[in-house]
Amino acid sequence: MESIWTKTCRMPAFPSLTAGMDVDVAVIGGGMAGILTAYLLKDSGLSVAVFEKDKIGRGATAFTTAKITSQHGRIYTDLIKYLGREKARQYAATQQKAISCYKKIAEQEHISCCLEETSSYLYSTVDAEQLKKEEESAVTLGLPASFTRQTELPFPVTGAVRFEHQAQFHPLRFLRAVASQLTVYEHAEALKIHGHRIDIRSGKDIHTVRAGQIVIATHFPLLNIPGFYFLRQHQELSYLLALDRAAHLTGMYYCCDPGGYTFRSFGRYTLFGGLGHRSGKLCPGDSYRRLWHHARRMYPRAAVAAHWSNEDPMPHDRVPFIGPYSIWMPHLYVATGFQKWGMTGAMTAALSLSDHILGRSDGHYSIYSPQRLSVRSGLGPFLTDVGHTTVHLLLQKPFVPYGKKNHIEKGFGPTCTHLGCTLSYNPADHTWDCPCHGSRFTEDGTPLTGPARRPLKE
Ligand SMILES: Cc1cc2nc3c(=O)[nH]c(=O)nc-3n(C[C@H](O)[C@H](O)[C@H](O)COP(=O)(O)OP(=O)(O)OC[C@H]3O[C@@H](n4cnc5c(N)ncnc54)[C@H](O)[C@@H]3O)c2cc1C
Ligand code: FES
């Protein structure tokens, strides 16, 4: 799969691991979260190395829409309601800080990544009242929010909340520039972690890396136990088109209505996305065609330059997990659960984890603690997820794959190699997707995204 970012940025090759080694900090995963964490530690005097199983910037970071914003849907009203005003203020302040850090790094390092300051809009076509409430909540938390009915969208809206001084960029051009200053090993897959030792597969060899501290930035965490992150979040998948010859937008737009769409421009292209659903949910037909059908009604002259999908883990209480992996392993850290806002999420993770590792953590990021217990906001989604997983573990679902040469056959979905749920066929991407925790596999059974790591059996 190619996104507009992979089509417009050649990534450099980094060496593979040829022997075991000792480092102060090992970062596992070369996406935005892992690379930024290593970058913020590079001048600390500690030796830091990134280990990436494939090539850097080929995970979720390659398939994002790359809006850099603290406007994460209609979140602030809920955060105030469920976590209280102080925690909500902490979330807002840390996400705003992440935006400034991107701007600062791009400027200091002279990175040519099309980073531009712009406004972000959360819009609705049905309900202005909930947006007015969200605007009030955001303003009380110190965010640059205002209510408007004026947008550049090709349809009327009932209202929108505008956040000023946000940003958008080319994520891979930024990542490439930052990673060029780091020690990175590609095709280096972390297999197991025992204490301070990591078994890393490089080609046919397995090498041992000994690290004082270990950061797991693998998008979905690598270890099931401890941490149990697979019980604390599920994954959601969405589809995107890069449209040529659609109207240029200066702002970034995100809809808070169910089934709404996302928009932003990049150069001559307009990115248009939506049709999000829980990964592994059976969806009839080709989602790209459905998206294209909507796009054509708005932009009759447009043509599709690229199409892709992406998924992200969604924590039950709508707050990412950033910090110590578990109380049992204090030298191990995690960054996950960015709920489709992993650009500011990754920067927040890098700022928080580098503070932890350098012993200067002062509670500024306590809202993200993976050891938190959010009963009020998290219990409902947790029970829904457990019910969902139980059903898919117990039931063998019949499926109808739309395979090669339109060959249609009836049978049963294969079994996921993570914990054994029955997979669903995704006819848009020709993948097998897991409804339990969102692992995805190619038609021939190769794992595409975690938590599953082993290929499907025949
Ligand atoms: C449709 C969609 C649109 C989005 N748009 C936005 C947006 O506009 N703004 C925003 O802020 N966020 C957005 N996001 C979210 C954002 O893209 C992600 O949260 C973010 O890219 C995650 O970065 P990451 O570094 O955690 O993961 P990744 O980029 O996936 O990096 C993880 C890396 O770890 C590697 N890895 C995995 N296992 C191992 C192992 N065992 N050993 C070594 N390496 C390993 C992988 O190969 C991968 O390279 C969007 C998400 C979706 C689904
Ligand atoms: S991803 Fe957990 S069972 Fe499939």
Q: Tell me, yes or no, whether 311 and 238 share the same domain.
A: yes
CA distances from 362 to 61, 236, 352, 365 (A): 29, 33, 10, 8
Residues with pLDDT less than 70, the chain: 395-412, 458
The CB of 418 under 6 Å from ligand 2? The reply is: yes
Distance 233 CA to ligand 2 centre (A): 12
Query: What is the distance between the alpha carbons of residues 48 and 181, in angstroms, rounded to a whole number?
Result: 11
Residue 446: CB atoms within 10 A of its CB come to: 11
Q: Domain of residue 201: give its range.
A: 4-64+173-231+318-373
User: Which two tokens mark 402?
Assistant: 């739309």
Question: In this predicted structure, what is the pLDDT of residue 377?
Answer: 72
CA distances from 65 to 3, 224, 274, 285, 340 (A): 10, 29, 11, 24, 9
CB 419 within 8 A of CB 393: yes
Number of the ligand 2 atom closest to the C-alpha atom of 416: 4
The CB of 4 under 6 Å from ligand 2? The reply is: no
The CB of 30 under 6 Å from ligand 1? The reply is: yes
User: Which two tokens mark 366?
Assistant: 């306590």
Residue 297: CB atoms within 10 A of its CB come to: 10
End-to-end C-alpha distance for the chain, whole angstroms? 24
Question: In this predicted structure, what is the pLDDT of residue 394?
Answer: 72
Residue 431: CB atoms within 10 A of its CB come to: 23
Residue 226 phi, psi (nearest 5): -80, -170
DSSP 246: S
Question: In this predicted structure, what is the pLDDT of residue 58?
Answer: 97
Question: In this predicted structure, what is the pLDDT of residue 409?
Answer: 45
Determine, yes or no, domain membership for 216: yes
- At position 256, the amino acid (one-letter code) is C
Contacting residues for 289 by C-beta, under 8 A, at least 6 apart:
none
Query: What is the distance between the alpha carbons of residues 167 and 103, in angstroms, rounded to a whole number?
Result: 8
Determine, yes or no, domain membership for 107: no
By C-alpha distance, which of 407, 446, 450, 398 is closest to 425? Answer: 398
Count CA atoms within 13 Å of residue 439 on its CB side.
26
Q: Tell me, yes or no, whether 256 and 227 share the same domain.
A: no
CB 52 within 8 A of CB 108: no
Q: Tell me, yes or no, whether 212 and 240 share the same domain.
A: no
Question: In this predicted structure, what is the pLDDT of residue 400?
Answer: 47
Q: Tell me, yes or no, whether 160 and 240 share the same domain.
A: yes
Query: For helices 85-108 and 76-83, what crossing angle results, to 10°?
Result: 130
CATH number, domain of 197, equals 3.50.50.60
Q: Tell me, yes or no, whether 336 and 309 share the same domain.
A: no
Question: In this predicted structure, what is the pLDDT of residue 382?
Answer: 80
The CB of 433 under 6 Å from ligand 1? The reply is: no
- Residue with CA at minimum distance from ligand 2 atom 3: 419
Q: Tell me, yes or no, whether 204 and 239 share the same domain.
A: no
Query: What is the distance between the alpha carbons of residues 252 and 152, in angstroms, rounded to a whole number?
Result: 10
Determine, yes or no, domain membership for 49: yes
CA distances from 104 to 40, 108, 243, 311 (A): 13, 6, 30, 28
Question: In this predicted structure, what is the pLDDT of residue 328?
Answer: 86
Pocket test for ligand 1, best of 6, 310, 333, 339 (most atoms within 8 A of CB): 310
Cα torsion at 349, 359, 56, 325 (round to 10°)? -70
Question: In this predicted structure, what is the pLDDT of residue 179?
Answer: 98
Three-state DSSP at 226 gives coil
For every residue of 418-429, DSSP letters joined together read TT-PBPEEETTT
By C-alpha distance, which of 271, 335, 343 is closest to 309? Answer: 271
Query: For helices 76-83 and 128-140, what crossing angle results, to 10°?
Result: 60
Query: What is the distance between the alpha carbons of residues 117 and 94, in angstroms, rounded to a whole number?
Result: 18
For every residue of 8-30, DSSP letters joined together read T-PPPP-PPP-S-EEEEEEEE--
Q: Tell me, yes or no, whether 159 and 245 share the same domain.
A: yes
Pocket test for ligand 1, best of 163, 219, 222, 272 (most atoms within 8 A of CB): 219
Choose the final residue of a domain: 315, 338, 362.
Answer: 315
By C-alpha distance, which of 389, 391, 413, 387 is closest to 400? Answer: 413
The CB of 434 under 6 Å from ligand 2? The reply is: yes
Question: In this predicted structure, what is the pLDDT of residue 411?
Answer: 52
Query: What is the distance between the alpha carbons of residues 106 and 90, in angstroms, rounded to a whole number?
Result: 25
CATH number, domain of 131, equals 3.30.9.10
Residue 79 phi, psi (nearest 5): -60, -40
Q: Tell me, yes or no, whether 182 and 154 share the same domain.
A: no
Q: Tell me, yes or no, whether 164 and 243 share the same domain.
A: yes
Question: In this predicted structure, what is the pLDDT of residue 458?
Answer: 65
Pocket test for ligand 1, best of 169, 182, 201, 312 (most atoms within 8 A of CB): 312
Question: In this predicted structure, what is the pLDDT of residue 398?
Answer: 54
The CB of 219 under 6 Å from ligand 1? The reply is: yes
Distance 456 CA to ligand 1 centre (A): 23
Query: What is the distance between the alpha carbons of residues 157 and 3, in angstroms, rounded to a whole number?
Result: 29
The CB of 279 under 6 Å from ligand 1? The reply is: no
Distance 63 CA to ligand 1 centre (A): 8
Work out how many domains the chain is built from and give that number: 3
CB 23 within 8 A of CB 47: yes
The CB of 389 under 6 Å from ligand 2? The reply is: no
Count CA atoms within 13 Å of residue 375 on its CB side.
0
Determine, yes or no, domain membership for 105: no
Strand partners, 148: 160
Q: Tell me, yes or no, whether 43 and 135 share the same domain.
A: no
Query: What is the distance between the alpha carbons of residues 124 and 120, in angstroms, rounded to a whole number?
Result: 13
CA distances from 176 to 31, 58, 111, 112, 113 (A): 10, 12, 9, 10, 10
Question: In this predicted structure, what is the pLDDT of residue 397?
Answer: 58
Strand partners, 209: 21, 198
The CB of 416 under 6 Å from ligand 2? The reply is: yes
Q: Tell me, yes or no, whether 356 and 432 share the same domain.
A: no
